[in-house]
Amino acid sequence: MVLEYLAQKPSPKNTKYLLIFSIILLFLVYPFLTWLFLISYPVSFIQSQLSFSGTAIKYFNSLANIELYRIANILDYGFMVSYGGIFFSLGLIIARKLESGTIWRNVGFIIVFLALIAPTCDAIENVFILLMLSNPLNFPDIWAITHSAFALTKYFIMFIGFGWIFVAVIKLIVIRTSKKT
């Protein structure tokens, strides 16, 4: 039932508008976001997000420009909307191009749901970052562990989702090429 709904809604026109909006938002937010992270925090995204260590995060925070890092994490919500919109609309466009009733199409619609879960995990991850920044050197260590768990989940979902998109595009190219011969 839900999969059938995604075959029609949102409309193809609105899905394309969402993709265009999301790409524009990405180009507006990402460069500034990256710059803020680079100048405010002493380690890479991966090191901080997947540390699973309150001690490590507290050390990183001691070297950070906390105010700029806080702004970067708030701006990150715009980035979440952009990549979530790209992930959702691209997954939906590709899934709709696959033959109705096939496992490929059904998996594609499941991927569309994952496109909503990944930025949600990212948003929860950022809540824990902002909580940690409220007391950057004395927060409960469980916040760092929880933050990293949501980050890992986000990355796992994005790897699966964008991996499926990549493979599905190749499948569509093969199908179209074989029809021409």
Q: What is the pLDDT of residues 15-58, one digit of tens each?
A: 999 999 999 999 999 999 999 999 999 999 889 999 999 999 99
Mean pLDDT of 114-131: 97
Q: Which pLDDT does position 1 carry in this prediction? A: 58
Distance between CA atoms of residues 147 and 149, nearest Å = 5
Q: Percentage of the chain surpassing pLDDT 70?
A: 98
pLDDT at residue 152 tops 90: yes
pLDDT at residue 179 tops 70: yes
Q: Which pLDDT does position 128 carry in this prediction? A: 98
At 7, is the pLDDT very low, low, confident or very high (cuts 50, 70, 90)? confident
Q: Which pLDDT does position 178 carry in this prediction? A: 86
Q: What is the pLDDT of residues 61-71, one digit of tens each?
A: 999 999 999 99
Using a 10 angstrom Cβ sphere, with 0-12 exposed, 13-18 middle and 19 or more buried, the burial of residue 14 is exposed
The two structure tokens encoding residue 108: 């594609």
